[in-house]
Structure 1
Amino acid sequence: MASHSIARSIILGLSLLCSVHISLAEDQVVSVETDDPEMNAAIDKARSTLPYFWQHLSNPGEGEQRFSVKIQITHGDEVEHFWCGPVVGAASKAICNIDNDPQSVSNVQLGQEMSVEKEYVSDWMFMRGDKIIGGETIKVILPRLPKEEADQLGLQFGEP
């Protein structure tokens, strides 16, 4: 059965985003089956609310900063999702940089500038104060991490 590799850049990116400093296990990738209903619902929700992200990127509210998107990269039969930020621009023409080293695909690299194309966005997030807005795929993966690792992150989600 095919799977998507979701880089633990979720956690690594959040370390930078939320000023959370943690040590991670050697395993840097969380694999999720392509037919995982919970993950697919999270991706669908993120895509359907993408206009909200663009609205706040173009006109941030008080305390809103550190806008990132997760984009899907495919290379052959491999699919990997990368957090990418900071996002600069607008919905019609935005760019960002890959935030982690690839684990499954070899057609992108850490720091590579990418065009943000909505059909490849699998999640989005930004910070409002100390709370994460968005991050639907994080909400799915967090409970799947070892409890002590998830607890150590101390992530807080806010309502859009």
Structure 2
Amino acid sequence: MRLPLPLTVFVVLAFASQLGITQQRDENEIVFVGERDPEMVAAIRQARAGLDEFLKLAEKPPTGVSDLKLKVMVSDQNGTEHFWVSPFQSVGDKFEGTLANEPRVVRSVRNGQLIAFTRGEISDWGYVRNGRQVGSFTVCVLLRKVPKEQAEYYRKNHGFDC
């Protein structure tokens, strides 16, 4: 399936297996968002502004912090998707980590694959602190774009406060 260029796929949440949640809803829900969507552009900007602080925290996570993840943009001839990557590590001035979502548009990567990426390809970050989500700015935008019942499900079952 080839998507028009202005569409970008954002994965709502796909850490079901890592979080121990197995409901079908958590498997790999996606939302299509225009790449120029003002809320999404602002969320990515906010995430990138806090990236240094997040990476410092990720070097030595304090007690109560878990599930550290980066959201990374991957493009190929089929389109662009943003995937969660966890675990991840810095390698010099680049990063590598395990893709934690099943691709829906992009065909050059697969779930569970180790990928290398640059800082410029990072579009979000997040972690869990004492059961509550921190960061995940793009997810907060997506929760405003899905049906209320669906958004409430994620807030209740995954600790989102947005």
Q: Which amino acid aligns with 2:8?
A: H
Distance 1:138 1:26, change over 3 A: closer
1:114 to partner: Cα distance: 1.3
Q: Which amino acid aligns with 1:11?
A: L
Distance 1:126 1:91, change over 3 A: farther
C-alpha distance in structure 2 between counterparts of 1:34 and 1:100, whole Å: 20
Counterpart residue number, 1:156: 159
C-alpha distance in structure 1 between counterparts of 2:23 and 2:87, whole Å: 21
TM-score (norm 2): 0.84
Aligned residues: 155
- Which of 140-149 and 81-90 deviates more? 81-90
Counterpart residue number, 1:46: 47
Distance 1:17 1:140, change over 3 A: farther
C-alpha distance in structure 1 between counterparts of 2:92 and 2:123, whole Å: 15
The runs of 5 or more residues in structure 1 that have no matched partner are none
Q: Where does structure 1 differ by over 6 angstroms across 4 or more consecutive aligned residues? A: none
Deviations 1:103-150 (A, max 9, x none): 111111111101241100000011111011110001100122222122
Q: Which amino acid aligns with 1:70?
A: K
- The answer on whether the counterparts of 1:58 and 1:90 sit within 8 Å (CA) in structure 2 is no
1:68 to partner: Cα distance: 0.5
More strand by share: 2
The runs of 5 or more residues in structure 2 that have no matched partner are none
C-alpha distance in structure 1 between counterparts of 2:83 and 2:18, whole Å: 15
C-alpha distance in structure 1 between counterparts of 2:129 and 2:20, whole Å: 13
Counterpart residue number, 1:103: 104
Identity, % of aligned positions = 27
Map 1:7-156 to 2 at 5 A. Answer: 7=11, 10-13=12-15, 15-16=16-17, 18-24=19-25, 28-76=29-77, 78-89=79-90, 92-153=93-154, 154=156, 155-156=158-159
Q: Which amino acid aligns with 1:56?
A: L
